[in-house]
Amino acid sequence: MIYGQIFVETLIGFLCLFVLTKFLGKSQITQITAFDFIAALVLGELVGNALYDQEVGIRQVLFAVFLWGLLIYTTEMITQKFKGTRGLLEGRPSIIIYQGHIQKEQLTKGKLDINQLQHLLRSKEVFSIQEVEYAVLETDGTVSVLKKSLQQTPSRGDFDMQPEPVPLPRGIITDGEFIWDNIREAGLTKEWIMGELAIHQLYDVSDVLYAEYKKGEALYVVPY
């Protein structure tokens, strides 16, 4: 009877977690933030403890998994509807190398030392910090790297060409709202942005899903 109960509860727990993962979306698998990591641990503990606790039945397992899944889903909905909560619940990416210079304050905030930084860069096939123009510490703990122009593939150095400055693309509109920090850093004005949007026959920022500015290039716009 005990083995039969464990078999049934294991099967039901597996199916519940599988369905829940499908329902919550692939971000729970591919983009593990601190919140997602905690959620995965708790879900595993809920099912694992229930399997070997004889006082816990199938209904209790289903209720616990359903309740925790509902909390995760509610949190995801909050971050989608209220953009101000994303920084708290999902975290924010931080630039740890800017124009070839290591940002020590951002390293400290991200709890990284130089050895860890080098490890993350090597995972991106970058073996020298000198090759990096920009590096961004993402919310899932990985690093995104933009190499200096002479180090990019194909390398400008292979053709004996002079190095050029590498502009950092900046998202200036997300989900129909201006990203004022990026706009100020890029030295742009609202009037200029609205003029660029008008070229795309967009006259209200709420009609824009995403807009990206890169110096020397036309504004990249994705409408809703």
Q: Are 87 and 46 in contact (CB under 8 A)?
A: no
Q: How many residues are listed for the chain in this entry?
A: 224
Helix (H) or strand (E) holding 146: strand 143-147
pTM over 0.85: no
The predicted pLDDT at position 165 comes to 79
For the chain, residues with pLDDT lower than 70 are 1-3, 5-6, 9-10, 13-14, 16-18, 20-40, 42-44, 46-58, 61, 87, 89-90, 155-156
Q: pLDDT tens digits for 128-147?
A: 888 899 999 987 778 999 99
- Tokens linked to 34: 């601190």
Rounded Cα distance between 148 and 175, Å, is: 30
Main-chain dihedrals φ then ψ at residue 95, nearest 5 degrees? -85, 115
The answer to whether the CB of 214 falls within 8 A of the CB of 220 is: yes
Which residue bears the tokens 């050895």?
115
- Are 113 and 107 spatial neighbours (Cβ–Cβ below 8 Å)? yes
Count CA atoms closer than 13 A to 135's CA, side-chain side.
29
